[in-house]
Amino acid sequence: MNGLPLAESPDTVRERLRMVELIERRGVADPAVLAAMRRVPRHLFIPEPFLRGADPYGDHPAPIGRGQTISQPYMVAYMSAVLELRPGEKVLEVGTGSGYQAAVLAELGAEVFTLEVVPELAAHARRALDRAGYGRVRVRTGNGCRGWEEEAPFDAVLAACAPERIPPALGGQLREGGRMAIPVGSPAGELLFCRRRGGRLECRREFGVVFVPMVDTEPPGA
């Protein structure tokens, strides 16, 4: 466990356990992922103005500001499971958003590097990760389409936002045999699972998804 023990109400814990039961009924069977989802306090990653009146453990996205959302719990679990992460692997996340997906990856034992183009969201995610006990996650404000070259290669890449096509930099920063889970096309697109073999990506379609777009732009002040 990477996060710190938190004082939580019994109701919050029960809500989170019900959330994970629903995810498991929908077909996510990876025991490590389910255990991580039981431990990470999703409500801590929703900014306070959006938490009021929200259902933080409902299986749906929730707004976090700047037109962005915290991803549906099922999608977080599915994308984490399809990568088949092993403790100690190095993971690049593109689209930090609230920081929740990064926390789940860290709870799985990954070394997490996460990029967010919106400075306010990157700052919120940093605070939320620290508060929840995931201070070792590396957060950077930057253009996700360009990846994090100086930290490459990565064992896995997970994108929480959708480009029109896979940015070459992301595929190029995967090690040989590395895996990628990425939605392509926004707002309506498809989730792809890819593996790097022989210097190229081999991809398969998982199912249709709706994600916010990945923008190929530099953050303000960059």
Active-site amino acid positions: 71
Of the candidates 176, 211, 175, 172, which has an alpha carbon nearest to the alpha carbon of residue 191?
211
Taking the C-alpha atoms of residue 89 and residue 143, their distance in angstroms, rounded to an integer, is: 23
Give the C-alpha separation, 10 to 149, whole Å: 43
- List beta partners, residue 141: 116
Inter-residue contact 97 to 164 (CB < 8 Å): no
Contacts of 38 (CB under 8 A, 6+ apart): 16, 17, 20
Distances (CA, A) of 100 to 45, 128, 159, 189: 6, 8, 13, 22
